[in-house]
């Protein structure tokens, strides 16, 4: 029984690439007559660099929650409280380490808050700083000693507090300006009713 070929013959080209012109298949240049083709040394295959996804697609894959004003405050406060306990456990209540950890939380809070609640981000950030500072602040004992340690830590770490609030406020301002521009463009392009 005769078997028929089910695949087309392979002509040396890859799928998706056009076939070579006749002179390239012979190995000669156009107009060289019937001279035999010279053998060329085999070229090393070029390293193919795989392109990753475009940066916009990578950014889209990152978590992008939208927090309400209250949700942003709870997120920021809870994260700073956990970071305060971790700072006390790992770094021995280092206020500098706590301040450094405070800045990314400010950035995330300002980015993740909803468009309608943008004003709340710079307000909840200082409150969360104070909440997380409770385990880090060194107090002499008792409630009054702990409170005095908290006030002292707030006074000495005010640079981190202002810096984080400034970062959150700057991000929120940029987001608000971009939102207002988009709304203005949308109003100009809409037909009048």
Contact 97, 153 (CB under 8 A): no
**pLDDT of the residue at 1:** 58
**Cα–chain-centroid distance for residue 125?**
20
Bridge partners, 113 (sequence order): 67
Is 1 part of any domain?
no
Q: Is residue 51 part of a domain?
A: no
Number of compact structural domains in the chain: 1
pLDDT of 54:
74
What is the pLDDT at residue 4?
A: 65
Centre a 10 Å sphere on the Cβ of residue 12 and count the other Cβ atoms it contains: 8
164 in a structural domain: yes
For residue 74, being part of any structural domain is answered with: yes
The reported pTM is 0.64
Contact between residue 127 and residue 73 where contact means Cβ atoms under 8 Å apart: yes
Domain that holds residue 149: 66-189
Q: Report pLDDT for 138.
A: 79
Asked if residue 54 belongs to a domain, the reply is: no
| pLDDT tens digit at each of 193 positions of the chain | 566 666 666 655 566 666 666 665 555 555 555 555 566 666 665 566 667 677 766 656 766 788 899 999 999 999 999 999 999 999 888 999 999 999 999 999 999 999 999 999 999 999 999 999 998 887 777 888 888 988 999 999 999 999 999 999 999 999 999 999 999 999 888 877 7
What pLDDT is stored for residue 51 in this prediction? 74
Instruction: Give, in degrees to the nearest 5, the angle at Cα 67 between 127 and 161.
Output: 25
What is residue 137's predicted lDDT score, i.e. its pLDDT? Answer: 86
Q: Which residues contact 144 (CB under 8 A, 6 or more apart)?
A: none
C-alpha closest to that of 108 among 66, 70, 136: 66
Does residue 2 fall inside a structural domain?
A: no
163: helix, strand or coil:
helix
Instruction: Give the pLDDT score at 126.
Output: 95
In a domain? residue 91:
yes
34 in any annotated domain: no
The closest alpha carbon to 167, from 121, 135, 133, belongs to: 121
Predicted pLDDT of residue 190: 83
């Amino acid at each position: 029984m005769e078997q028929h070929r089910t695949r087309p013959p392979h002509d040396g080209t890859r799928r998706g690439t056009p076939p070579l012109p006749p002179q390239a298949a012979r190995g000669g240049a156009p107009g060289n007559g019937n001279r035999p083709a010279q053998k060329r040394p085999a070229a090393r295959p070029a390293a193919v660099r795989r392109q990753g996804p475009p940066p916009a697609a990578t950014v889209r894959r990152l978590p992008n929650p939208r927090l309400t004003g209250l949700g942003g405050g709870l997120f920021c406060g809870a994260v700073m409280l956990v970071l305060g306990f971790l700072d006390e456990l790992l770094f021995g209540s280092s206020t500098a380490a706590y301040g450094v950890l405070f800045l990314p939380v400010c950035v995330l809070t300002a980015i993740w808050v909803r468009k309608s609640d943008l004003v709340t981000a710079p307000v909840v950030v200082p409150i969360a700083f104070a909440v997380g500072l409770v385990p880090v602040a060194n107090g002499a004992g008792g409630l009054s000693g702990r409170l005095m340690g908290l006030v002292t830590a707030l006074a000495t770490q005010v640079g981190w507090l202002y810096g984080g609030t400034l970062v959150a406020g700057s991000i929120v301002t940029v987001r608000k300006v971009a939102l207002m521009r988009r709304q203005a463009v949308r109003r100009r392009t809409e037909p009048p009713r």
